Amino acid sequence: MQLSHFQEGLANALMPLSAPHAEAPEWLAALQAQPGFAVYRNTVYKGCIDALLANYPTVGGMVGEDWLRAAAAVFVQEQPPRDARLMAYGEGFAHFLQRFAPAADLPYLPGVAHLDRCWTESHLAADAPALDAAWLAAQAPDALAGMHLVPHPAARWTWSEDHPACTLWQRQRNGDAMDAELPWQGDGALLTRPAGGVQWRPLQRAGMDFLNTCAAGQTLGQAAEQALAADPGADLGALLVQLLQAGALCLPPTPNSR
C-alpha cells in the first residue's frame, strides 16, 4: 500500500459522521469498526467546530458561543475541512449563514461573517511591498492613466448593500457599544496588513469599484472611471491617498518574478 493511499483513507474516515461503506478497503473497514475509533472521529469533529469559533470571533460575540457552536456543528457536517491548516477553515461559512434558518432574523450576520473571513485571509496572505507614494508621485502625469496597479495580496474589501455590517463588525470587534441610532444602510470596509497586523478602515463605494477594476487588470485611468461612475462626486485624489496610506496597492509582478 502506498503511504498516500493510507493517509487519504484514514483522513476520510476521520471526517465527521463518516461511516464504513462497502467500497472501503478491508483494513479501513476493520479500523472503523473498532469501538474506540469513534473517539478519534469525535475529536476531529470537535476540533473543526473549535476552529470555526476561533475563525469567526465577531460572529460569536454577536450571537453567543452556544449559538455559533450549534451552527458550526451543522456546517462541519456539510463542509468538512480540505486543508490541514485549520486557521484557514470556514471559507464558505458566510454563504452557509445566508440559508441557515436560525439566522433568518439576523440578515446582517452573513456580512459580519464575511468580514471575519476577510480578516483571516488578510492575515494569511503573502507578503509583498506596498506601493510607495513617493514613487507614484514621481511618475509623469501623462503616464499615470495607463499605469497598471494591483491590490496588495493582503488587501480585502467588501460592501454590504442593505445593512451596516461593516460598522457592526468593527464595533463588535473593538468592544464598542452598539448605537441604537446607527443609520441602517449599506457600508463598506477595507482590510489591509501594512505593518504585520491586519487593520480595518471604512471605504466608500467608489473605492470598491476602483479596487475591483485594478484587480481585473485594468489601468489606473479605467479604475478612476469606474470609481466616478459609482460616485460622480468622489474625490479621486483623496481616495488614492487613502489606499496608499492603507498599503492596499502594489505594482503587478513582473514576468520573471517568483
The pTM assigned to this predicted structure is 0.86
**Of residues 3, 45, 5, the one with CA closest to residue 24:** 5
The grid coordinates of residue 139 equal: 511618475
Model confidence over 144-202: pLDDT tens digits? 999 999 999 999 999 999 999 999 999 999 988 787 788 899 999 999 999 889 999 99
* Residue 37: per-residue pLDDT: 72
* Residue 177: per-residue pLDDT: 79
Contact call for residues 247 and 152 (beta carbons, < 8 A): yes
Residues of the chain with pLDDT under 70: 1, 4-24, 255-258
Query: Domain boundaries in the chain?
Result: 7-106, 107-258
**Of residues 184, 201, 183, 181, the one with CA closest to residue 192:** 201
